[in-house]
A and B are shown apart, each in its own frame.
Chain A
Amino acid sequence: MRFGVLVFPGSNCDVDAYHAVRDVLGHDAEYVWHRAADLGRFDCVILPGGFSYGDYLRPGAIARFSPVMRAVGEFAAAGGLVLGICNGFQILCEAGLLPGALRRNDDLTFHCEMVHLRVENDRTPFTRECGAGRVLAIPIAHGDGNYYVDPDTLARMEARGQIVFRYCTPDGRVEPEANPNGSVGNVAGVCNERGNVLGMMPHPERAVEALLGSADGLCLFHSLLAAGAGALT
């Protein structure tokens, strides 16, 4: 399976996503510069974390206009798998490929820490190997991860299974105390209606080796590989 890892000038988790796919999982990965116009050769495109163009205005607000984002839109429309992590999630929201917006964390400070996520929907190509209701330990590192959509949209998304991950306690309870940033409904990750575009604030690529504290993020990548294999057969 071929992964493309987008590189905006201010991306800084591009190397981590590349490392996870290539060195840990042993699959093909290729960096894609932000001026690229074609993503057709990939099975999955990852928008990594970082500060795409400095993000001084608002995370992702400028990145949505970059040449490669037009290609991401076409790739997604053709059914390609798109995973946006952290800044990648912010960009996908800004670009309209996912509903909602990411505001400043409610305590106005950056949070870098291990959190727990509950898998709310394991029928997506990103979570089919994760197990519904399973609790994953995956780190966050963001200042703007406070997810918001209006209540009606949230209800519709819930009904359609678009809420993929929620912040929870280590034993799987979705409580306010487990919410690190004020996200509505403890939402940590969402997908589009079609289910081929996922955005999440936590960093699964930082949780693929026990040496670094958790390998729980592997199930996302295994899901993608399974989905890719399915699509290819």
Chain B
Amino acid sequence: MRDQDRAGAHGRGTSSVSTAQIATAPRWEQVGLTEDEYRRIVELLGREPNDLELGLYGVMWSEHCSYKSSRVHLKRLPTEGARVLVGPGENAGVLDIGDGLAIAVREESHNHPSAIEPYQGAATGVGGILRDIFTMGARPIALLDSLRFGPLEPGPAPRGTLSPVAADGLDSPGTDEARAARNRYLVGGVVKGISDYGNCVGVPTVGGEIYFEECYNENPLVNVMCVGLIPKDKIVRGRAEGVGNPVFLVGAKTGRDGIHGASLLASQEFTAAAEEMRPAVQVGDPFMEKLLIEACLELMQGDAVAGVNDLGAAGLTSSCSETASRAGNGIEIDVALVPRREEGMTPYEVMLSESQERMLVIARQGREAEVEAVFEKWGLEAARIGRVTGDGRLRVLENDRVVADVPARTLADAAPAYDRPQRRPADLDELWAFDFATVPDVGAAGAMMDCVAPGAAVDCGAALRRVLASPNVASRAWAYRQYDHMVRTSTVLVPGAGDASVLRVRGTRKGVALATDGNGRFCRLDPFAGAAMAVAEAARNVACAGARPIGLTNCLNFASPERPEVMWQFRQVIEGMRAACLALDIPVTGGNVSFYNETMGRGVYPTPVIGMVGLLEDLEKRMTPGFKRAGDAVAVLGPLTADPATLAGSEYLRVVHGHVAGRPAIDLELEARLQRVLLAAIEAGLLASAHDCSEGGLAVTLAECCFAAADGARGAVLDLPAPAGPPGAGGSGGFGAAGGGSDWRCDALLFGEAPSRVVVSLPEEKLPALADLARGHGVPIERVGRVGGDRLVVTVNGRALVDESTADLESVWREALPCLMGARP
């Protein structure tokens, strides 16, 4: 796996360092390397590198480009499967979907630039990920964005978790109005950046996520995923094949933008001076990108091209050294032939520029005219800047003078790999030992029933409205309405219409289902379980749409790897992903690591974001979350539980009680069985609807099934069976098919976020068949009620807890985010 914040990878450059410091700092420090790394370079070269050469190593061996802290761990991820045509190491992973077609997929972070300049940071993130896909010869067909920000409103930090780098004793300070205002600015800028870029290039933005949490206050996360469609036999590699083949640089001219971006921005934590790095953020030109997409795909229809690579982080340096290294060849280029945006650029600046919308094209000898004709048609510049050589070296000339000459492999593949020290965060035991009895349970309004733990009962309807209005649960229409999610007329399930977005594959009966998922809060509380749950939920989302998960990509967003606690979290996340991938039989096709999401000692929660690809063999069998017909039975597939432990890390615990605590858990074998039952039930035509139970628990899931329902089915009457005996007082279990805790709670039943559960509806007469299927796989199933009316009515053991009009609940859910953003609902 290699990937990069397209931040601008760059030699921790001289620009941010004063002249006096340069004079005194050792050479290696000027490019962000250590003394040991410098000695290794000298050893590899057999001589001291000159300044330009050292600059090339500085960028290519940065954390951002070399994965030096993560490589040893990433090897643990399973990457093989029958459908994997291209795994980690290329520009994108490629999955076989049959009919001679394949899906290219890749996900990348653009966190650091977006923190500084949200509009351009996000826009160029979209541009970069698109290039990774069409570099392979694939037509980009969908974009997804997974976003994390600090809270939109001022408020205290939650009790429980502190900063994930709490070993330093730094508490999260909460969110003041100035910070909340900045967060709103970041959200608005990022969403507009994605919108303007994606809409202009004409690739639909079909899904993603947005979550808000204190830990992202200084460090928002912007992860972008792109999916492309390609005939299996047309896959183009990023390889400099064929000695003597000409090397073209196509697209935009090269300027000084983005120099010192990635290693400066994305390979170290932010300091108070982050604002001053704004010039290191690149500027996107989506029209240029659109031309580049069409020209490259047109060119790749024929066979005039031997290899193609985009220019992302580290610009010409990485694209030349990586294409050469992959093919075992060398590349010689003359920087004087590179079209410039400005005069007087040094070879160092040309080699490190991260100007956007550029591609490296290795043409076949004698076919140069064809390449030039296609780019001419699209009004693009195609400059022949060099050739492929057989000596394995990256040789950079300026006119006749050799200015750098190093083995390409040593830049691309010889960076050191570190197994950094790990230490379990000291506060985990305390978080896990959280006593849920210290927060009151919910009860019915005005009826102080026995559903009361110590303290006053929280009105259950009010709690539901609070959770529905949380920006982590509320409708995301404010954001996705700004994205053209329909262009190319293949989006069958648009954002908000399903647990996953579904696109048709023209010329076949098939559909592709896409989802992203990642719960940083769960990962903070238990990185192994949290990461496994992210993989499981992304897969479950795709399965709820009726698709079989076939592969995943990911972005792993973490604080500084130089902190042992962060490194421990990283390893645990990798192990959790591995366990889930093995249990669910899903290969990893590639991914991206973004470290140093940290500002002045406060870092983000460990946040793996999983991008899942699912395949529907028959598009007609796609499934949606909304109830369909009054009278249908409603059932919970998977464990129905009132165990207080399932409140761990829940949205309810956060927004109603102000705590982030507990220990999330998942049974991966049960998850695998659940998904098998779900897919078999959909295949057999048993279900009318299926909706994954996640943030907000069962109550929110049921409400969402009503919001998305067909006319006449926008209500449900449900009676949830609870264990015998009063809650909170040591009941005796015997809870439905699942068994219950000895210490059950109403809020855990309604708002607990136990994984491996799906709310389904189906005609009453099909229920026995579903129950047989579930029992046959050892998956609990409980009929909980019936679709009908226009209210959501939930009783527990016959006592009413929720009785709300669907329309009222929906307006709370729909208006929350636009209201917080000061927009029209």
Say yes or no: A112-B483 contact (C-beta < 8 A), given A54-B200, A141-B199, A213-B494: yes
Give A179 to B420 CA distance when docked, in angstroms: 58
In the complex, which residues 202-221 of chain A have their Cβ closer than 8 Å to any Cβ of chain B? 203, 205-206, 209, 211-213
Across the interface, A206 reaches (CB within 8 A) one of B196, B482, B486, namely: B486
Give A120 to B69 CA distance when docked, in angstroms: 65
**Chain B 548-581 per-residue mask, 1 if CB under 8 angstroms from chain A, else 0:** 0000000000000000000000000000000000
Q: Quick check: A16 and B488 within 8 Å, CB to CB? A: yes
Give A114 to B824 CA distance when docked, in angstroms: 17
- Residue ID in chain B nearest A203 by CB atoms: B486
Q: Quick check: A9 and B379 within 8 Å, CB to CB? A: yes
In the complex, which residues 79-132 of chain A have their Cβ closer than 8 Å to any Cβ of chain B? 107, 109-113
Most chain B C-beta atoms within 10 Å of own C-beta, residue among A55, A109, A203: A109
Q: Quick check: B290 and A112 within 8 Å, CB to CB? A: no
A15 interface residue per 8 A CB criterion: yes
Give A127 to B290 CA distance when docked, in angstroms: 33
Interface residues on chain B, number (Cβ under 8 Å): 34
- Residue ID in chain B nearest A113 by CB atoms: B481
B433 interface residue per 8 A CB criterion: no
A10: chain B residues within 8 A (beta carbon): 200, 287, 290-291
Give A7 to B294 CA distance when docked, in angstroms: 12
A12 interface residue per 8 A CB criterion: yes
B20 interface residue per 8 A CB criterion: no
Give A193 to B534 CA distance when docked, in angstroms: 58
B504: chain A residues within 8 A (beta carbon): 211
In the complex, which residues 168-223 of chain A have their Cβ closer than 8 Å to any Cβ of chain B? 203, 205-206, 209, 211-213
Give A129 to B26 CA distance when docked, in angstroms: 78
In the complex, which residues 54-76 of chain B have their Cβ closer than 8 Å to any Cβ of chain A? none
B321: chain A residues within 8 A (beta carbon): none
B236 CB to closest chain A CB (Å) equals 21
B484: chain A residues within 8 A (beta carbon): 110, 112, 141
Across the interface, A12 reaches (CB within 8 A) one of B192, B202, B482, B490, namely: B202
Q: Quick check: B286 and A54 within 8 Å, CB to CB? A: yes
A60 interface residue per 8 A CB criterion: no
B824: chain A residues within 8 A (beta carbon): 107
A118 CB to closest chain B CB (Å) equals 21
Q: Quick check: A109 and B823 within 8 Å, CB to CB? A: yes
Most chain A C-beta atoms within 10 Å of own C-beta, residue among B201, B288, B290, B483: B290
Q: Quick check: B486 and A141 within 8 Å, CB to CB? A: yes
A206: chain B residues within 8 A (beta carbon): 486, 489
**Chain B 455-492 per-residue mask, 1 if CB under 8 angstroms from chain A, else 0:** 00000000000000000000000001111111111111
Q: Quick check: B200 and A107 within 8 Å, CB to CB? A: no
Q: Quick check: A212 and B489 within 8 Å, CB to CB? A: yes
Q: Quick check: A110 and B482 within 8 Å, CB to CB? A: yes
Give A50 to B293 CA distance when docked, in angstroms: 15
B378 interface residue per 8 A CB criterion: yes
Q: Quick check: A212 and B486 within 8 Å, CB to CB? A: yes
Q: Quick check: A112 and B482 within 8 Å, CB to CB? A: yes
5 contacts between A and B (CB under 8 A): A12-B488, A19-B489, A110-B481, A143-B199, A206-B489
B residues near A (Cβ < 8 Å) are: 192, 195-196, 199-202, 285-288, 290-291, 294, 378-379, 480-492, 494, 504, 619, 823-824
A residues near B (Cβ < 8 Å) are: 9-10, 12-13, 15-16, 19-20, 49-51, 53-56, 107, 109-113, 139, 141, 143, 203, 205-206, 209, 211-213
Beyond A12-B202, A15-B488, A51-B287, 12 additional pairs, beta carbon < 8 A: A9-B287, A12-B487, A13-B202, A20-B489, A49-B487, A51-B286, A51-B290, A107-B824, A110-B196, A110-B482, A112-B485, A209-B489
The 10 closest A-B pairs by CB, nearest first: A12-B202, A54-B287, A141-B484, A16-B489, A51-B200, A110-B482, A112-B484, A110-B195, A10-B287, A107-B824
